[in-house]
Chains A and B, each alone.
Chain A
C-alpha cells in the first residue's frame, strides 16, 4: 500500500485543521486554536487502489513559519489553502508555493490550490476566477471547499493522491531528474 505524505499549508485561520479533521474524522471543529503541528493518518481508496494518507497539518501563524522548510522537505504533495473570505490569505499563498518550488528544486511538485470556507459565499473576497487563474498559472488543480459543510473535502484529498500518483509516474521526461541533473 502506497503512502502519501501530504502537507497542508496556508496562512493562519484559513481552516487547514478544519479541512484535515473534516477529512480524517468527518467532524467540523468549531474550536479556534492555532495549530503548532498535527499529524494524521488515514487510509482511503483512490481510483480503486488503497492508499495511506499521512497528513501534516501545519502552523499557519507566522511565528512558526521557520518550520515550513522542514515540512516541505518531508512532504510529497501539498495542499495550499486560503480562505476565500480573506484576500490576504490568498496573497500569502504565492510565497508559499514559491517556497515549495525553492525547497523541492523542481517545478512540478504535486500541489492543489484550495479556497476554503465556500459556505461563506456572502463574505467572499476572492472570486473563483482569481483562484482558478492562479491555479492555471501554476498548472495545478483548483478547488473551493468548505470544511464546515463538508464540500469537496474528500474529493480534495483524493485529488492530491492522484496528483502524487501522476507525478510519480516515470514521465517521458522526468522533471525531477532533469532538474536534479541541472543542479
Chain B
C-alpha cells in the first residue's frame, strides 16, 4: 500500500507536469464548505452514536478502539477534502491530493483489517468510487467552469464513503451486521477485492511507465523523424488503431446485445418459473429454487445494467468518441502533411527547372563563346578585303556571347535562390514533421488512455456481474445438501387438516420450539465467529435442519397426547405458518422456519438470542384465533389477518422467500417491497412509507430510487415502477379536473385501482363500503397513493381500508362528482322519484291498470331527466361516475352476500357523490335534511345503471323496452330499496307521531276533520289487538300479523284511511288525478297495515300482497332514515295533524300508558333540524 502510495505521488507529479496553469484558480466556494461541514457532522454523529449503543456482544474496549479508528478515518477523509479545497499550495495540488488519498486508503485498510465486521462490499465499493473519481479528474481540463462539477463528484463520492462507512459502523454497533453486505465470502475473495482496490489506486505504476514513455517518446519521434515515411507510418498506425478499436467495440456491442437478450429471456423464464413454482406448496427445495430464480432475475438485471453501463459511459461511447476524434485529427494531420509535402515538391520542381535553365544558359553561353572565338580566328586568318565584314561579324558574335553570359548568370542566380528556398522549406518541413509526429503520438497516447480505462471498466464490470454467482450457487448448494429427503412430504402430510393429530403436533411444537431456540442460538454464534463461506442465513438453515433431525419422530409420538391443548389458538398457531417456510433460505425468519409449527415461541427465543434478529419482525405472524363460526359480521374480516389458513400460507410464503436482494434479504417485507431492488441508502432522504427522515437502516431501490426505512419495508405498499419514482403528488382534496386531466378517459387511477381491487376479491365481503377501515392504515394507504401513484400494491390490504380510501377520496374532492350546480335539480328529481315510488308500491297490489302504466311512465321520465342532467357533466366526471356507478351496480349484484343493496350504497355514497355547496357552519343541518334525497339519487343511479348510462349489461333491458318490462325490472332491482322504505312507513304508522312537514300543510285541513274518527279507530284497535304495546312491533314483523289485522276491517275505518292517504298524495304528487289518488292511497295503506297491526282496517285485497312482503325482515326499525313526508301513512299524518291543530290531546289516542308521544318539547333532537331544515321528520315513539 505504501509503495502504491508513493506511486500515486509520482503519478501526481507526472500529471502536475502536464497540467496547465488555469487549473489553479480554484476558489473555495461556499457550497463546498457546507458540504464539508455536513459531512464532518455526520461523521461525528456516527462516532457519538457508536458510543451510546451498548451492545452486550461487543466489549467496551473494543468499541473504544473502533471509535478511535472511526475518528481516524473521519479525519483522513476530511484531510482529503481539505486538500482538494485548499487554495494555496496549488502547484502541488495533485501531489497532496494523491498523498491524502493514499493515507485514506491506508487507514481504511487498517480499520477494515482490524474490524472484520466492517469489511463490507459497500465500503470497498464506495472507496473504489472515491479513488476512481479522484483519478478520473483530468487535471488538465479543470478550469473555472467545470471544476465545481468535477470536484462535486469527488465530494459526493467521499460523502458516500463516509455514509456507507457510518452505516456499517452503526449496523455493526447495533448488532445488526448485515449478512448481505458484509462479506460472508471467503477471505481470499475479500483480500482479492481489496487487491482490486489497490490496483486501482496503484494505477500509479502504469502512470510511471507512462512517464518513462514520455521520455522515450522523443526517441520515438526522432526515429520516426529520421525515417522518411515516419509520418505515414504513424498515421497508418493511428488508422490501424481506429480500425482495431472499431472492431473491438463492435465485438463488445454484439456481445452485449446478445447478453442482454439472453439475460432478458432468462429473467423472463425465471419469472415464469417462479410464479408457477411459487404456488406449489410443500415441494422439496421449493424455496431454494425460488431463491435461485430470484438470483437469476437479479443477476440478469445486473447483466442488463452492466450492459447498459458499458454501452453508454463505460465502454462503447467513450471509445467511439475517442476513435472519431482520432480519425478526425488523423485526417487533419494527414491533409496538412500532404499539403506541406506538395508544397515541398513544388519547390523542388521549381529548383530543378531553375537548374535546367541555368545549364541551358550556360551551354548557350559556351556555344556563343566558341562561336565568337572561331570568328575571331577566321578574322585573323582572312584577307584584308574581308576585314570590315569580318570585324562586324566578330562584333556581333561578341555581343551574343556577352548576352549569353548574362543570361547564364541570371539563371545561376535563380537557381541559387531556388536552392535556398528549397533548403528553407526542407528545414521547415523537418520541424513540421516533428510537430506532427508529436501531435500524433499524443493523440495515440490519449486514445490508449481511453482504451485502457474502457477496457478496465469492461472487465471490472464483467467481473462484478459474475462475482455474486458462485457465492449464490454455493449457498444454494449448501442449502440443498442439508435437505432431508421426504421432509416436505411429511410436512405436507402434517399440514393436512385433521382433528386429533393436529392437536398433538400442536403440543409437540411447544417443546420443539424450545429446542429450536437453542439451536438457533448456537448457529448464530457459530456463524459470527467463523465467518465461513456460508452466509448467516445458511447457518440458520443448518440449524433448522439440525433441529429437525434433533427432534426425532419418536419424540413426537412420545409427546402425543401429553399436553393436549384443545384451545383453538394452539391449533391456529400450528396451522398458521405453513411448513414450507422452513426452506426459505436467505431470510432471517429462522425461528419461524425451524419447524412448521413452532410459530411464536421459536422466533421469540431467536430474537432474544441472536443479535441479528430484529424484534419487530414477528408481530405479523403471531397466531390469530381462527374464525370458526359463520361470518355474521363483516367487521371481523377487517382485522383478521389472512382470511384462511391457506391464504395465510401463501402470503407468508411470498413474504418469507423475500427474494429481494442484497442487504435487506433478511428484512420482513411486504409484497410490494419485494418488487424493489433494494440496496443500502446512500444519502439522506425521506422515507416514502412513513414520510420521516431516514438516517440509518435505510433502503433504497436501485431502479426507482424509492427510499424507505428498513422497518417500513414490512408495510411498504408502493411497488417498483422500474423507472425513477416521480415526486409526491397531491391527490386527496385536489380538484377533480386536475386529477382527471392526466388520464385519457378522465377516470383517476385511484378510483380504478380501488374498485378493481374490490371487485377482484371483496364483492362478497359483508358491509363492503359500509364498514370503516382502520384509520391509521387508511391514512397510510392515502399516503402511499400520493407517494406511489398507481404503483401501490393493494392485494395485501384489507378490503375495508381500500373502500374507505375510495370514499375518502371522493368525499374530499372540493366539488363532488355530481357538480354543485346540478345539485338542486337532482334533489328535485329524487323527491319526484320518491313520490313515484310510493305510488308504485301502492300499485303493486292493484290489478293491472292504466295508472300503473302511468307510474312507469313517470319513472321513465325521471330516469330520462337524470340522464339528461348527467349529460351536462364534464366528460371526465361523466366517465368517472359511470365507472363508479357501474362498480357499485356490480356490488349490488352480490347484495345477498354483502348486504349492500342499492339503497344501502345510496346512503353511503349519497353525501359522497352529491352534496350542496357548503357555505358556512350550518352545513350539517341543511345537508342533513337532504341526506335521504342524496341517497336516493345515488340509489337511482345504481338501480337504473343500465338505462341511465346506456349500458346494456343484459341485452334484454334496453331503453326501448315496454313500460311493462321497465316495471318488472324496477321491481326486480329495487326490491331492496322498497323494502327499506316500507318498514319506515309502517313504522311511522305504528308510532303514530309525526312532525309535520311544512309542505304538507295543505293536507292538514283535510286530515283535521277526520282526526276524531281516526282517534276512535286507533282506540278500538288498541283495545282489540294491543294489550302489551311493546310487543306490537314484534307482531308487526310477522306476516300473520297482517292477517290478524285484516279481521279488524271496518268499513268506516277503510273510508277514513282512504281519505287520509290522499293527503300525502296531494302534497307529493299534485299531478296525479284525484280519482286515482283514493285508490292508490287505499292500497298503500293496505300494504302498511299488513305489517303493523295498529291499523284497524285491512282491505281483503291486501292479503294478496302479504306474500310479497314476507321477506322483509326489518319492519319496525327504520323510522326516519328516509324521507317520510311522502310515504307517511295516513293515520300517522292524521295524528300529527291533530297535534298540530293543538285542540285534541294525544291521550285521546288511547294508547296504553307506555305509549308515549313525543311532545313538542320532546323533539329536542330534532328541534334544531326542524328549525333550519323545514323538513319533515318522523319522531317515532316506540312503545
Chain A: residues with CB nearer than 8 A to chain B?
A: 3, 5, 11-14, 17, 21, 24-27, 29-43, 52, 54, 56, 60-64, 66-67, 69-71, 74, 83, 85-89, 91-92, 117, 120, 122-125
Question: With A43-B1154, A122-B627, A122-B629 in contact, do A33 and B1162 touch (Cβ < 8 Å)?
Answer: no
The residue of chain A having its C-beta at the shortest distance from the C-beta of B1179 within the complex is A39
**Is the interface on chain B under 10, 10 to 19, 20 to 34, or 35 or more residues?**
35 or more
Q: Are B1168 and A33 in contact (CB under 8 A)?
A: no
Which one of A21, A24, A42, A88 has the highest number of Cβ atoms from chain B below 10 Å of its Cβ? A88
Q: Specify which of B627, B638, B903, B1183 is in contact with A33 (CB 8 Å cutoff).
A: B903
Question: With A37-B928, A63-B911, A70-B1168 in contact, do A13 and B1121 touch (Cβ < 8 Å)?
Answer: no
Chain B residue contacts of A125, Cβ below 8 A: 625, 636, 639-640
Q: Specify which of B636, B771, B1116, B1122 is in contact with A12 (CB 8 Å cutoff).
A: B771
Please name 27 pairs of A and B residues whose Cβ atoms are closer than 8 Å in the assembled complex, sorted by A: A12-B771, A17-B1117, A21-B1117, A26-B1031, A26-B1033, A31-B980, A32-B900, A33-B1121, A34-B908, A37-B1120, A38-B1180, A39-B1120, A42-B1156, A54-B1162, A56-B1165, A62-B772, A63-B811, A63-B912, A69-B924, A74-B1165, A83-B633, A86-B635, A87-B639, A117-B632, A117-B633, A122-B628, A124-B625
Docked complex Cα distance between A69 and B928 (Å): 13
Q: Specify which of A13, A31, A66, A87 is in contact with B633 (CB 8 Å cutoff).
A: A13
What would 15 more interface pairs be, CB under 8 Å, given A5-B1164, A31-B1117, A120-B633? A31-B1113, A32-B766, A32-B904, A37-B1120, A38-B1121, A39-B1119, A41-B1182, A64-B931, A74-B1165, A85-B632, A86-B639, A88-B638, A88-B639, A92-B772, A124-B625
Q: Are A30 and B908 in contact (CB under 8 A)?
A: no
**Closest-CB distance, A176 to chain B (whole angstroms):** 18
Chain B residue contacts of A17, Cβ below 8 A: 1117
Docked complex Cα distance between A43 and B1183 (Å): 7
| For the complex of A and B, 8 pairs with smallest distance between CB atoms | A86-B635, A31-B1114, A32-B899, A24-B1182, A25-B1033, A87-B639, A85-B636, A41-B1181
Which one of A33, A71, A83 has the highest number of Cβ atoms from chain B below 10 Å of its Cβ? A33
Q: Are A13 and B908 in contact (CB under 8 A)?
A: no
Question: With A25-B1117, A34-B904 in contact, do A86 and B629 touch (Cβ < 8 Å)?
Answer: no
Question: With A12-B772, A39-B1166, A54-B1165 in contact, do A61 and B1114 touch (Cβ < 8 Å)?
Answer: no
Chain B residue contacts of A91, Cβ below 8 A: 774-775
The residue of chain B having its C-beta at the shortest distance from the C-beta of A126 within the complex is B639
Q: Are A63 and B636 in contact (CB under 8 A)?
A: no
Q: Are A25 and B1162 in contact (CB under 8 A)?
A: no
Which one of A12, A30, A63, A122 has the highest number of Cβ atoms from chain B below 10 Å of its Cβ? A63
Docked complex Cα distance between A39 and B633 (Å): 24
B1118 beta carbon closer than 8 Å to chain A = yes
- Residues of chain B in range 1130-1183 having any CB-CB distance to chain A below 8 Å: 1153-1154, 1156-1158, 1162, 1164-1166, 1168, 1178-1183
Q: Are B1182 and A27 in contact (CB under 8 A)?
A: no
Chain A residue contacts of B636, Cβ below 8 A: 83, 85-86, 120, 123, 125
B613 beta carbon closer than 8 Å to chain A = no
Q: Specify which of B640, B983, B1034, B1121 is in contact with A35 (CB 8 Å cutoff).
A: B1121
**Closest-CB distance, B74 to chain A (whole angstroms):** 47
B1064 beta carbon closer than 8 Å to chain A = no
Docked complex Cα distance between A94 and B292 (Å): 49
Question: With A12-B770, A43-B1154, A70-B925 in contact, do A29 and B633 touch (Cβ < 8 Å)?
Answer: no
**Closest-CB distance, B909 to chain A (whole angstroms):** 8
Chain B residue contacts of A60, Cβ below 8 A: 772
**Closest-CB distance, B145 to chain A (whole angstroms):** 59
Q: Are B924 and A67 in contact (CB under 8 A)?
A: yes
Question: With A24-B1182, A25-B1116 in contact, do A87 and B638 touch (Cβ < 8 Å)?
Answer: yes
B767 beta carbon closer than 8 Å to chain A = yes
Chain B residue contacts of A42, Cβ below 8 A: 1030, 1154, 1156, 1181-1183
Chain A residue contacts of B774, Cβ below 8 A: 88, 91
**Closest-CB distance, B1158 to chain A (whole angstroms):** 6
B935 beta carbon closer than 8 Å to chain A = yes
**Closest-CB distance, A104 to chain B (whole angstroms):** 15
The residue of chain A having its C-beta at the shortest distance from the C-beta of B899 within the complex is A32
B1037 beta carbon closer than 8 Å to chain A = yes
Chain A residue contacts of B773, Cβ below 8 A: 88
The residue of chain B having its C-beta at the shortest distance from the C-beta of A67 within the complex is B924
Docked complex Cα distance between A41 and B1117 (Å): 12
Docked complex Cα distance between A60 and B767 (Å): 12
The residue of chain A having its C-beta at the shortest distance from the C-beta of B895 within the complex is A32
B923 beta carbon closer than 8 Å to chain A = yes
Docked complex Cα distance between A74 and B807 (Å): 28
B932 beta carbon closer than 8 Å to chain A = yes
Docked complex Cα distance between A42 and B194 (Å): 86
Chain B residue contacts of A27, Cβ below 8 A: 1033-1034, 1037, 1116-1117
Docked complex Cα distance between A117 and B983 (Å): 24
Chain B residue contacts of A61, Cβ below 8 A: 770, 772, 907-908
- Residues of chain B in range 874-925 having any CB-CB distance to chain A below 8 Å: 899-901, 903-904, 907-908, 910-912, 923-925
B648 beta carbon closer than 8 Å to chain A = no
Docked complex Cα distance between A25 and B1092 (Å): 13
Docked complex Cα distance between A40 and B910 (Å): 24
Docked complex Cα distance between A113 and B348 (Å): 117
Docked complex Cα distance between A117 and B634 (Å): 12
Question: With A12-B770, A61-B908, A123-B636 in contact, do A33 and B928 touch (Cβ < 8 Å)?
Answer: no
Docked complex Cα distance between A39 and B1158 (Å): 10
**Closest-CB distance, A5 to chain B (whole angstroms):** 6
Docked complex Cα distance between A177 and B629 (Å): 49
Docked complex Cα distance between A76 and B1120 (Å): 21
**Closest-CB distance, A100 to chain B (whole angstroms):** 16
Chain B residue contacts of A117, Cβ below 8 A: 632-633
**Closest-CB distance, A57 to chain B (whole angstroms):** 9
Q: Specify which of B639, B807, B1117 is in contact with A62 (CB 8 Å cutoff).
A: B807
Q: Specify which of B627, B635, B1162 is in contact with A41 (CB 8 Å cutoff).
A: B1162
Chain A residue contacts of B1180, Cβ below 8 A: 38-41
Question: With A12-B770, A34-B908, A62-B772 in contact, do A83 and B1181 touch (Cβ < 8 Å)?
Answer: no
The residue of chain A having its C-beta at the shortest distance from the C-beta of B915 within the complex is A63
Q: Are A120 and B1033 in contact (CB under 8 A)?
A: no
Q: Are B632 and A123 in contact (CB under 8 A)?
A: yes
